[in-house]
Amino acid sequence: MALIECRELTRSYTKGELKITPLADLDLSVERGEFLALMGPSGSGKTTLLNLIAGIDKPTSGSLWIDGHDLTGMSRSRLAAWRSAYVGYIFQLYNLVPTLTAYENVELPLLLHKLNRGQRHRKVALALELVGIADRHDHFPRQLSGGQEQRVAIARAIVADPSIIVADEPTGDLDASSGKSVMGLLNRLNDELGKTLVMVTHDAHCAEYATRTLHLEKGRLVETRDLALAGEETS
């Protein structure tokens, strides 16, 4: 069984008198250790799907199983506990707490776990070392470059050793050089540490780091080779 199994996954919400359905009857399987890139135009449901996989949102209908856990049947409190143990989230705009140092930002997820100070310190130190930012552990976000802030955010996402890392436009706010560095780091997490990654991106160069790329078009997943064939048929 795949690590992530979505079947007929649907998410709808209302906006005024309108009913909006960014995802409808979506099927998706992600294998353990895979690096999946999700591409598509704005409003196609990419971030909606990412938030469902991360346990931040709940589907309207359909099934979502991750590592043998049925997320659709979990209460909000149980889902939050599951998320803290299984998922690390990397945001485009970092979402670091400005009044905390890099070390303290990375430590935050561990406060939800039953660990003593020494255990937390070892995990934080390892995560900061892995992302190459250990020498900035006492710096506040305002003292870091964008690329350094994103490395702190990645360290925060991996510090609890999650099964899945989800990333929403992880290079969207970075210059080309910093973006390439961050993508190299994500590739290492997948290739060397075997982390399963699901990444939303608009950047085709970022998608090249993934082992598989899927496009969302109006909530429907289309593999890249299917897009290429469609282009040949219309040319």
8-37 confidence digits (pLDDT tens): 999 998 888 888 888 989 999 999 999 999
Task: Let me know if residue 63 belongs to a domain.
Answer: no
- Encode pLDDT of 68-92 as tens digits: 999 998 988 899 889 999 999 999 8
Instruction: Tell me how many domains the chain contains.
Output: 1
Asked whether the beta carbons of 1 and 30 are under 8 A apart, the reply is no
In whole angstroms, what is the distance from residue 94 CA to residue 173 CA?
9
- Would you say the C-alpha torsion 45, 40, 165, 203 has a positive or negative sign? negative
Query: 147-195: per-residue pLDDT in tens?
Result: 999 999 999 999 999 999 999 999 998 999 999 999 999 999 999 999 9
The H or E element that residue 166 is part of is strand 164-168
The per-residue pLDDT for range 112-123, each reduced to its tens digit, is 899 999 999 999
Is residue 74 included in any domain, yes or no?
no
Residue 141, classed as helix, strand or coil, is helix
Task: With respect to residue 21, please indicate whether it lies within any of the assigned structural domains.
Answer: no
Alpha-carbon distance of 21 to 82, in angstroms, equals 26
For residue 152, what pLDDT is reported? 96
Residue-number span of the structural domain to which 182 is assigned: 31-57+85-234
Encoded tokens for 111: 């406060």
Q: Give the pLDDT of residue 233.
A: 43
Residue 207 lies in a domain: yes
pLDDT at residue 17, rounded to an integer: 86
Q: What is the pLDDT of residue 115?
A: 93
With vertex at residue 31, the alpha carbon angle to CA 89 and CA 222, rounded to the nearest 5 degrees, is 85
Give the CATH number for residue 156. Answer: 3.40.50.300
161 within domain boundaries: yes
Write down the pLDDT at residue 224.
54
The pLDDT of residue 103 is 98
Give the pLDDT band (50/70/90) at residue 212: very high
**Residue 231, pLDDT above cutoff 80:** no
**Higher pLDDT residue, 34 or 228?**
34
Residue 205 lies in a domain: yes
pLDDT tens digits, 47-73: 999 999 999 999 999 999 999 999 998
β-strand pairing of 164-168 with 87-90: parallel
The encoded tokens of residue 192 equal 């060397």
Q: Is the pLDDT of residue 234 over 90?
A: no
Could you tell me if residue 22 is inside a domain? no
Query: Nearest CA to 36 among 235, 226, 206, 225?
Result: 206
